[in-house]
Amino acid sequence: MALIDNLIEEGWLKNKRIIEAFKKVKRKDFLPEDIKNLAELNEALPIGLGQTISQPLVVAFMLEQLQPQPGDKILDVGSGSGWTTALLAEIIGSRGKVIAIEVIPELMEFGKKNVEKYNFVEKGVVEFICADGSKGYPNIASRPELAEGFDKILASAAAPELSPVWKEQLKIGGRIVTPIGSSIWLFIKKSEKKGFVFEEVEYPGFTFVPLITK
């Protein structure tokens, strides 16, 4: 718990529900066997296939900007190890839904297996799909519960620009948190007039693996 205590002391973790999720959803459960002993390190770690599990400080910061709430419907792009997916699922609870998109099939299976340790898939809180997350959720038209769009969209890999499909698939008042280049960006959807109006905030000085697209 030293890592979580440090994140709280340094001001990265503030929200009570996010702190509780960090305490309950153990990072080591989302790491390959040979590096589980490194779970308490506050740095990104390799999970194979050229991908990483994000630095805890960065995950904490992004979740604080995202402000997930109980009952939210969230699109988790580049779900990777599944750690962020499980944190989101813990925060939003049984009335919420996380749709986790991962483009690399083996990585999607790895992440799904990890998230299943917490029964979120079995309970229907998390659903995994293998697809190009930059194109949003492919089956949104077939989901009446997503008619207004997602409450939140989180991406864990850097895109060159904000996906126009994410803008479209977010409900008014919703939040997108995504890396673009070496910055984390927060986008809040204010209106759907004239091709969508967003409030934008940039937080520079971060490093991410690039978002893989098809």
For residue 55, give every residue at least 6 positions away whose Cβ sits within 8 Å of its Cβ, in sequence order, or none. Answer: 42, 43, 44
Between the alpha carbon of residue 67 and those of residues 14, 46, 89, 198, 213, the distances in Å are: 11, 27, 13, 17, 26
Q: Report the distance separating Cα 174 and Cα 149, nearest Å.
A: 9
Cβ atoms of residues 113 and 85 within 8 Å = no
Out of 54, 79, 134, 156, which one is annotated catalytic?
Answer: 54
- For residue 103, which of 132, 128, 144 has the smallest C-alpha distance? 132
For residue 60, give every residue at least 6 positions away whose Cβ sits within 8 Å of its Cβ, in sequence order, or none. Answer: 7, 12, 13, 18, 22
8 CB-contact burial (10 Å; exposed 0-12 / middle 13-18 / buried 19+): middle
Residue type, 57: L
Does the active-site annotation cover 54?
A: yes
Between the alpha carbon of residue 30 and those of residues 38, 49, 79, 135, the distances in Å are: 11, 15, 11, 26
Residue positions counted in the chain = 214
Residues labelled as active-site residues: 54
